[in-house]
Amino acid sequence: MPARLNLVILGKQGAGKGTQCKRLASIYALPHVSTGDILRAAVKAGTPLGREVASVLEAGALVSDDLVIKLVEERLEEPDARKGALLDGFPRTLAQAEALERLLGGDGIKLCIDLEVPTGLVTERLSSRRVCQECGAIYRDSDIEAISGTCEKCGGDVIQRADDRPEAIRQRLEAYERDTEPLLAFYESRGLLASVNGDQSPDDVTDAIQAAVSARGLA
């Protein structure tokens, strides 16, 4: 494996990026760097920044590039990211992608995986998603009926996040089409884009991603 294996995982909200990053983190021994998790931690901490982030997330909008870039830069400087990272939710805009190139320099992005999932399917996934407030475990609304809204893993409360409600979902998908889809052309022009069908079993998606990585001689 190269000294640094930096992979960008793109896809609409609900495409399965988080699920696949957790699997790939184990396979490649790389940290899963999720800007969503970083931002939600700030919200939970109740800091002034966290309160500012909360209002943005509840509206289904995107946090400013400058703030996200700073958070990611700090994360990539941590010891566990020395060999690379799985970037989930970053970059989301061309400005962020260009900033990431400047930040990583010669150890830049090795591959960008685009998880292709139809809009109707991701909308269904998001609207039925429930999340544990304590450990972040993800459930479907049918699961919650069986466990009475309590997380089976830690006993925490399982809720529907504000950004998984219908209006927020619509706004998030519109923001993705406007701000993030242009990144596909950005990475394709650099010969770094690999598309994977995300509308299949999680195991099959993982296998397809590993095949794409291996095809580039990265692992």
**What CATH number did the domain enclosing 49 receive?**
3.40.50.300
Q: Three-state DSSP class for 206?
A: helix
- Residue 3 pLDDT grade (very low, low, confident, very high; cuts 50, 70, 90): low
The catalytic residue positions are 17, 92, 129, 161, 172
Residue 2 has what pLDDT? 47
Residue 26 has what pLDDT? 96
Residue 8 has what pLDDT? 97
Percent of the chain with pLDDT over 70: 96
- Residue 13 pLDDT grade (very low, low, confident, very high; cuts 50, 70, 90): confident
CB contact at 8 A, 91 and 100? yes
Structural domain boundaries, residue 188: 5-215
Residue 1 has what pLDDT? 40
Q: What is the mean pLDDT of the segment spanning 171-200?
A: 92
Q: Three-state DSSP class for 129?
A: strand
What mean pLDDT is reported for the chain? 88
> Looking at 18-124, which runs of residues are DSSP E strands?
32-34, 84-88, 111-116
Residue scoring higher pLDDT (142 or 169): 169
CB contact at 8 A, 128 and 138? no
Q: Three-state DSSP class for 209?
A: helix
Residue scoring higher pLDDT (105 or 23): 23
User: Does the structure show a pLDDT above 90 at 69?
Assistant: no
Q: For the chain, what is the domain count?
A: 1
